[in-house]
Structure 1
Amino acid sequence: MTQVTTVQSLKIIHITTENFKAYGQLITPSEDGKVYDETDAQLHLDNGTPRFYIMRLQERGRQFHRITRHQQCTQCLGSLEGKEWFIAVAPPSDENYPNIEQLQAFKIPGNCFIKLEVGTWHAGPYFDHDYVDFYNLELSDTNVVDHFTYNFLKQDNLTFKMVS
Structure 2
Amino acid sequence: MSASQTLKQLKAEWITPENFQRYGQVIFASQDGKSFDQEDAHLNLQNGIPRFYIMRLHNKGTKFHKITRHIQCTQCLGSLEGKDWFMAVCPPNNEINEPVLEEISAFRIPGNSFIKLEVGTWHAGPYFDHDFVDFYNLELSDTNVVDHFTHDFIKSHQLEFEMV
Same fold (TM over 0.5): yes
Once the two structures are TM-superposed, the CA of residue 155 in structure 1 deviates from its matched residue by 1.2
Match of 1:35 in 2: 35
1:57-104 CA distance string (max 9 Å, x none)? 001111000000000000000000000000000000021110111100
Q: Counterpart of 1:107 in 2: which secondary structure?
A: strand
Q: Counterpart of 1:143 in 2: which secondary structure?
A: helix
Measured in 2, the distance between the counterparts of 1:70 and 1:132 equals 23
Q: Are 1:19 and 2:14 counterparts? A: no
Unaligned runs of 5+ in 1: none
Match of 2:141 in 1: 140
* Identity in percent: 66
Match of 1:153 in 2: 154
Q: After the TM superposition, which segments of 4 or more aligned residues of structure 1 sit over 2 Å from their partners?
A: none
The residue correspondences of 1:84-123 to structure 2 (distance < 5 A) are 84-94=84-94, 95-123=96-124
- Partner amino acid for 2:161? F
Q: Are 1:63 and 2:63 counterparts? A: yes
- Partner amino acid for 2:64? F
TM-score (norm 1): 0.97
1:86·1:105 contact (CA, 8 Å) conserved in 2?
yes
Match of 2:126 in 1: 125
TM-score (norm 2): 0.97
Once the two structures are TM-superposed, the CA of residue 3 in structure 1 deviates from its matched residue by 5.9
1:103-139 CA distance string (max 9 Å, x none)? 0000000001000000000000000000000000000
Measured in 2, the distance between the counterparts of 1:119 and 1:40 equals 19
Moved more, 20-29 or 3-12: 3-12
